Amino acid sequence: MSHRVNLPKPRPNPELEELLAQARKITSDPEQESEWERKRTRLKTIAILLRDNPHLSRDYVTGIVDMLDRENSMAITNHQPANVQASDYSYCGWLISRFEKRRGGIRFVVEDSNGRLFIHNAKQLGIDE
């Protein structure tokens, strides 16, 4: 036996409509196609989140999408070899991840040959920030 559920019709959401209008205005420019595509995807993501979560504010949802953009831009998919040179030790390992500290600055996670994870700054890895 199946039960039919009557869901209420979605209420008009001016913020959502504004975001959708912005997304529709973005046109593809051959010279900036990747930038336009990134903006279009970002706006669609914000619009979908607002549509599915009408109780959330636009600022809150935008903050979530910004956080995801930062995480995606810092993802390391192929674990590169890393040589760590500190003042009193050095070792070889693999670059696993990078992240931004709340107060600024970027840090890197390196896995050593024993599977332990260590956090280092760019200088210790010989990387330009």
**Is 63 a residue whose pLDDT tops 70?**
yes
Span 91-105, mean pLDDT? 85
Q: Which amino acid is at 30?
A: P
**Is 110 a residue whose pLDDT tops 80?**
yes
Q: Is the CA virtual torsion 125, 127, 128, 129 positive or negative?
A: negative
Residue 120 pLDDT:
92
Domain ranges (residues) in the chain: 14-73, 80-125
Determine contact, residues 111/93, Cβ cutoff 8 Å: yes
Q: Which helix (H) or strand (E) holds 93?
A: strand 90-100
Helix, strand or coil for residue 121?
A: strand
Higher pLDDT, 91 or 77: 91
Q: pLDDT digit string (tens) for 13-48?
A: 777 677 666 655 554 444 555 677 777 777 888 887
